[in-house]
Structure 1
């Protein structure tokens, strides 16, 4: 396969006409050739990605991209024929969080301000760009809601070609629940397609003829102390009647379901489930006529295969929404492709992988199949986009997401597993300093938020590439998935109930000691870090096991389990149902505990109540506007530590929420962290 480099230079040159604003954000204005990763400053590691979320129009003529502009991620379009770039947004206040092509002439996009510690965008508005008229139009502004706002949650399918129509999930009849509409972006008119909806709908699945066929309904909690159920309904193509086919509990303690999509016969449904007592969710075929499950398509020995924790998705011939299902893709320790026999899609994928053997490669085809936009990543490659000509078999690089991130300087990321003290398998990613002997290294354990999420994946090149950064500074970095992390089966999940600060904390300790026993880590130089729940676990480690950890950096951290349940101005409290108490008086009591019934447990496992036990220094950083973990958590921990005479670096970033987005604050956080760990983990 021929490999050319000219297109990359042309696209980079096209971007050169844009206002260069990296310097305004405090980052160096020019890319520098660094001799080692240790030379790369904080302001480069944690600046906005140079280019991200590239997507190609269905006709293969235009590429949309999000680029750093005015200190934010803004949207540009690149004409592939002329290599000219057009600025679509230039906001200094909000980022473009995502974009989606509607045919060849319209681009739907949403804006956001920052990301919380769990990685969720906080959306601020939705818009669309009309290419022919060179105009952006507002659909909704969440800060200034007004009559006539159009609440589009997502584009489910586009009509295709030059059509301005798309099938959308939209809140037209209700502020809480969405229906499926056929929406015309040119006229802004819509047609309701789910008038006979089951109601309380939280998700939809269309068949390959763009007919709404599966509805996900959130049931009303019957009473306090009982789970909230989610039901899946099916409608036959020639019927208006919806029939319930699956049901699952909010406690996640029984059979779970995740609908992946229809095959092109519009009868066979692919469903991820742990039915019949399976520990992990596997993919099955389901016959929507007989209402029976068929063959198991694929199962993984370690991971649940579903859309939430492993990003499972069907691979279709041609890559469009109506093609025959020919494979399955999901994230295991590394991204996995499972092929169902031979297909043109498989052949094309193998051709691309043969040309790019050192990376994980995904691609999207143009409607005529003549071009593919390829995205390649790995643990050391932060991401590079290519244009593949399927006829000429030429692969042309377009642009690298981070030009400064030379893969030769980056550290390898290994997936490891060990047995916790009670025999439970626990997994995580270990990143070691490049060019350094893996022996008696200082350790930082990075603990994810949630905690009931899958926190880490093979390629960790988001806004915060923490593992690479701290490895470049000489630390072994362990990103752990302690019990309770989703994606590792029911047993792994259920064993975390009421174990905040208990066996969940044991898993963290056991991960550190596993590396000590392997000779990789120096037991006398181990530290904790994390945000949200990870911030809690870092504080809990310092209060529960003060002789094991030298120090901890906690961000937007829970410090008191009672406050987590009872603070009335948190978003979880505000969203509570008055009749049944919502999450905090139901699932929270099962998963974490109850401040009254489990008062003794909360006393033992709330770091702010045990600050006197702390021996090493703590760096605690909060956001002034955090509604998930309000500032009172930081203030209570601060006051307790200072009263006990402990060493504390405490800082509150103004106008930040549950996670930080402003460059000035992100850079400051990691500059502080670099100095903090260098001081406390030195020999």
Structure 2
């Protein structure tokens, strides 16, 4: 009955922002009608955050071609513009109590394609003033460099517990910081040193420190150590350590329960292949039973975004569950709770989406974001007293779920028996039979590249599915997040068994009758760009074409180009990443010279048969332009078909709208020419 009440109370609209900009939303009959410029435009509204008292909603909205900050009064629905910059974007924001809002700014359109923070500020709600913490010039005297907010006192208090680079430019300490007086007090004078992360207990005491150890020598891993401070003690004790090679037991700390003794830890103990969440007793130094695990993926922070679900009441903070990204977003409950009751009610009203819920401190209101494979993201306001959900806004008004493509989990066994998982997005309204295929390959490759919800700045699967292609996105061996065996079996297998996994996935779809073997192409950037090129070299009769961007073309260059940003990770004593982790995971240009010769696409361009589209960024420091130039020269010398373009003022991944739109216009035409012709 309660869910029926909720459903009926979903309103048609929540607010209309009184800004000078309006957006016309066209109703498209099918996804095929949606232009490139609409698919890949920036999200209009993002980063919605409800104040702890549930009275004010903060959001980043489009204004002056940038993302600027507004506050909306929940009761009156009136919006107040806080920033109106035409130079920087508000990149992140966080409430400190009900009266202060800290935010960081960045140039969201710079060549890196990432938010490189330029400065930080806070807004005083009562004083209606924006105050500077850290200047956008980065070197201003008296800059206050807050790296994160760990906790805040709550209510109307201006006090937060923060990490700051106060005593060191490189490492962090924990401070109390008063946003009203701008005064801080060091809480971790006796820290273990070289700290790169902290965890508070539920009484806001620094209890866990994460320390970055020096690499002892070349050929040895760099260690990360975890330190614990017992309540009332002065001396820190080391409790865990993890290797940068990721070849032993790995640890990630999720946080304390409200007894401030029990710690939730992700680890792969006792030879376990995949990381699971355990309870750890900080007094006895013993692990308890597993409380969360997954058959397919690691349950951890880095790859699965695992987090604790707590009671929102700051006086309780009890852990009631764990949320993480499995094959689909998932919650594991550790018992009944007020939070679970609200989640169940919202899920009953919105049963076809995953609903993330940000509760106010007293639990009477919540901001709900619902999303799925076909739902790009819709915000609602939940009111416990009214038992209602009110529609706030849609992130992409044009993306009607009824015309979007479904995204299905897929699993198969590679030729050596290793299980491989991923997602298959199929064009809507078309029989899943003998379709042209695009294999979209993620970068890294030592990351988990894909989740069930594929929306983002580059919703490639949805775009190419709208153009009639089946899109396969896999986590081949070497990817993190699918267990230790998957990860370690990819060592020194760039262009080898890692490449075979991609081929095996495509051939599995051919065997199932879904895909036409004669119409299969490759798509990817960075490592995905490398694998796209290498596929055309290793299996020239399997793949018709490849669309490759910011691509590694020569494994030797990847290690030896001194002007890349990865080369900066080195140090004179041990050689850093390229002389250690790289040699273990990819290889060494001297000791593995024959392997690098075989698996470098630019050295084997004569083997290519089909056309290649290759796009590079002029300012790329991760994979410098020389990779593209060497591949271009080799292909042209061998007389191969090549569409080559360098995008000016772009880095490792394109970010300016004009570049992004042009890239996908070219890609749309390229795949139409090489895959749609039978």
The alignment's TM-score, normalised by the length of structure 2, stands at 0.96
Retained in 2: the 8 A contact 1:48–1:68? no
Q: Identify which range, 65-74 or 585-594, moves more after superposition.
A: 65-74
Q: Which deviations, in whole Å up to 9, do the C-alpha atoms of 1:92-124 show, x marking residues without a partner?
A: 343322211111111112223348999853322
1:9 counterpart residue number? 13
Per the TM alignment, residue 8 of structure 1 is displaced from its structure 2 partner at its CA by 5.2
Structure 2: where are the runs of 5+ without partners? none
Compared CA separation, residues 568 and 141, structure 1 to 2 (3 A) = farther
Question: Pairwise mapping of residues 280-299 of structure 1 onto structure 2 (< 5 A)?
Answer: 280-299=274-293
Question: Pairwise mapping of residues 620-631 of structure 1 onto structure 2 (< 5 A)?
Answer: 620-631=614-625
Q: Identify which range, 422-431 or 538-547, moves more after superposition.
A: 538-547
Matched, 1:90 2:92: no
1:491 to 477, 480, 485: 485
1:76 to 63, 70, 73: 70
Matched, 1:558 2:552: yes
Q: Which deviations, in whole Å up to 9, do the C-alpha atoms of 1:243-297 show, x marking residues without a partner?
A: 0000111100000101000000000001110011111111111111111111211
1:171 counterpart residue number? 165
Matched, 1:246 2:240: yes
Q: Secondary structure at the match of 1:525?
A: strand
Per the TM alignment, residue 318 of structure 1 is displaced from its structure 2 partner at its CA by 2.8
Retained in 2: the 8 A contact 1:283–1:298? yes
Retained in 2: the 8 A contact 1:97–1:112? yes
Retained in 1: the 8 A contact 2:113–2:655? no
Q: Secondary structure at the match of 2:596?
A: helix
Distance between the aligned counterparts of 1:415 and 1:116, measured in 2? 35
Q: Secondary structure at the match of 1:121?
A: coil
2:518 to 509, 514, 524: 524
Matched, 1:412 2:406: yes
Compared CA separation, residues 312 and 232, structure 1 to 2 (3 A) = same
2:189 counterpart residue number? 195
Retained in 1: the 8 A contact 2:407–2:426? yes
Distance between the aligned counterparts of 2:143 and 2:634, measured in 1? 47
Per the TM alignment, residue 199 of structure 1 is displaced from its structure 2 partner at its CA by 0.8
Q: Which deviations, in whole Å up to 9, do the C-alpha atoms of 1:615-651 show, x marking residues without a partner?
A: 1111111111111111111111112112222221111
2:21 to 15, 19, 39: 19
Per the TM alignment, residue 673 of structure 1 is displaced from its structure 2 partner at its CA by 1.0
Retained in 1: the 8 A contact 2:222–2:244? yes
Q: Secondary structure at the match of 1:364?
A: strand
Q: Secondary structure at the match of 1:309?
A: helix
Retained in 2: the 8 A contact 1:65–1:75? yes
Distance between the aligned counterparts of 1:212 and 1:7, measured in 2? 44
Matched, 1:103 2:107: no
Q: Which deviations, in whole Å up to 9, do the C-alpha atoms of 1:380-402 show, x marking residues without a partner?
A: 00111111111221111111111
1:650 counterpart residue number? 644
Q: Identify which range, 141-150 or 170-179, moves more after superposition.
A: 141-150
Distance between the aligned counterparts of 1:287 and 1:375, measured in 2? 35
Compared CA separation, residues 602 and 303, structure 1 to 2 (3 A) = same
**RMSD, matched Cα:** 1.7
1:207 counterpart residue number? 201
1:26 counterpart residue number? none
Retained in 1: the 8 A contact 2:320–2:334? yes
Retained in 1: the 8 A contact 2:437–2:515? yes
Matched, 1:536 2:540: no
Compared CA separation, residues 8 and 188, structure 1 to 2 (3 A) = farther
Matched, 1:515 2:499: no
Per the TM alignment, residue 140 of structure 1 is displaced from its structure 2 partner at its CA by 2.5
1:232 counterpart residue number? 226
Distance between the aligned counterparts of 1:480 and 1:31, measured in 2? 33
Retained in 1: the 8 A contact 2:113–2:654? no
Retained in 1: the 8 A contact 2:251–2:268? yes
Q: Secondary structure at the match of 1:110?
A: strand
1:32 to 5, 9, 26: 26
Compared CA separation, residues 158 and 592, structure 1 to 2 (3 A) = same
Matched, 1:355 2:346: no
The alignment's TM-score, normalised by the length of structure 1, stands at 0.96
Distance between the aligned counterparts of 2:509 and 2:597, measured in 1? 31
Per the TM alignment, residue 503 of structure 1 is displaced from its structure 2 partner at its CA by 0.5
* Number of aligned residues: 673
Retained in 2: the 8 A contact 1:77–1:85? yes
1:156 to 131, 141, 150: 150
Per the TM alignment, residue 143 of structure 1 is displaced from its structure 2 partner at its CA by 4.8
Distance between the aligned counterparts of 1:530 and 1:122, measured in 2? 24
Matched, 1:311 2:305: yes
Compared CA separation, residues 118 and 434, structure 1 to 2 (3 A) = farther
Structure 1: where are the runs of 5+ without partners? 21-28
Compared CA separation, residues 195 and 288, structure 1 to 2 (3 A) = same
Retained in 2: the 8 A contact 1:372–1:389? yes
1:367 counterpart residue number? 361
Q: Secondary structure at the match of 1:637?
A: helix
Compared CA separation, residues 2 and 341, structure 1 to 2 (3 A) = closer
Q: Secondary structure at the match of 2:584?
A: helix
Q: Identify which range, 583-592 or 317-326, moves more after superposition.
A: 317-326
Distance between the aligned counterparts of 2:62 and 2:495, measured in 1? 40
Distance between the aligned counterparts of 1:130 and 1:381, measured in 2? 35
1:451 counterpart residue number? 445
Distance between the aligned counterparts of 1:225 and 1:395, measured in 2? 57
